[in-house]
Amino acid sequence: MVQASQDTATAPHIPVLLSPILDAIAPVSGRWLDGTFGAGGYTRALLDAGADTVYAIDRDPETFERAASWAGEYGDRLRLIAGEFGNLDTLADENDGLPLNGVVLDIGVSSMQIDQAERGFSFMQDGPLDMRMSQSGMTAADIVNTADEATLADMLYLYGEERASRRIARNIVKARTETAFQTTAELARVIENSLPRAKPNQAHPATRSFQALRIAVNDELGQLVDGLIAAETALGEGGILAVVTFHSLEDRIVKRFLQARSAEMPRGSRYQPEEVQDAPRFERIGRKAISARDDEIDANPRARSAKLRLARRLSAPAGGIEGRKLGLPNFDLERLR
């Protein structure tokens, strides 16, 4: 979905890269799964374009409450399913949805979650330091108040690509010895004071750190790897996988997954034995990621960093793959607990 930034506080929710997805998969028919339902933008577009059924998954209990005003328009064609898209194959099977004709994933936090100060995702609005998409389990406050300095630094660097991770972690630990962190503003202030003043048009100093915390709280990258593998299992031959990402960590995982599954992984060093590649399970649709056009970015600034990758399922049986081969950061989330 989207990254928190200054332009996300008030902008309305608009599905990103929707037109390129619909153009690539036309004509739409059969059973589709929207693994990141959010405000329902992709789900409604798929149903309106001709999908027989859409299985809509989300782990945030508020999403289906918001959809209550319009979901009935589609009758049995829309199936709302509470759960995580990392288990989409199991969830679809439990709802008689296999094999699927298509899977759409819009990775990250939704604009509605960012815009709700009480959810604690945004450094632009003060609220409780929460960040839980499912509204259960470990919070961001739990992490910054209990994790040791080295663990915090590694998390900020690996999940947020924050170069000043050690300085920020040191200042977080120093600040919490006086008062535990409770709000987003308190944490953002410490991070901001740890870094040089931002230049005009530069991202807020807390952007990368808040991204890292959110990814850790929700195990977003682990979910992405699981979701890609689950989609491979759930899609029937000829089925379409469409994945929208918003930052380099996500896109790297999707790119490497599709390379591996289409038997196009880059060759290793000439001094190392070449790995035997499995029969291709996907055929990539286009060699490069699709980015938003200028007119979409003008209408929806959230689309600026979005990338879309598409692939078509082939007949080879599904299988597993190690997250490290896809670029999943080598960080043990259990260190935070």
Please state the residue numbers annotated as binding site for S-adenosyl-L-methionine.
40-42, 58, 85, 106, 113
CA distance 6 to 203: 8
HSE (CB half, 13 Å, CA atoms) of 74? Answer: 24
Pairing of strands 53-58, 78-82: parallel
Find where tokens 């998954």 sit.
57
Q: What whole-number distance in Å separates Cα of residue 318 and Cα of residue 83?
A: 22
The 8-class DSSP code of residue 28 comes to P
Question: Which distant-in-sequence residues (6+ apart) come within 8 Å of 124 by Cβ?
Answer: 4, 6, 8, 9, 204
Contact in structure between 131 and 155 (CB atoms under 8 Å) = no
Cα 41 from chain centroid (whole Å): 16
Give the annotated binding-site residues. Answer: 40-42, 58, 85, 106, 113
Instruction: Please tell me the distance from the alpha carbon of residue 193 to that of residue 164, in angstroms, as a whole number.
Output: 12
Q: At what angle do helices 220-234 and 248-261 cross, to 10 degrees?
A: 30
Tokens of 325: 């081969």
Q: Which residues contact 22 (CB under 8 A, 6 or more apart)?
A: 28, 45, 49
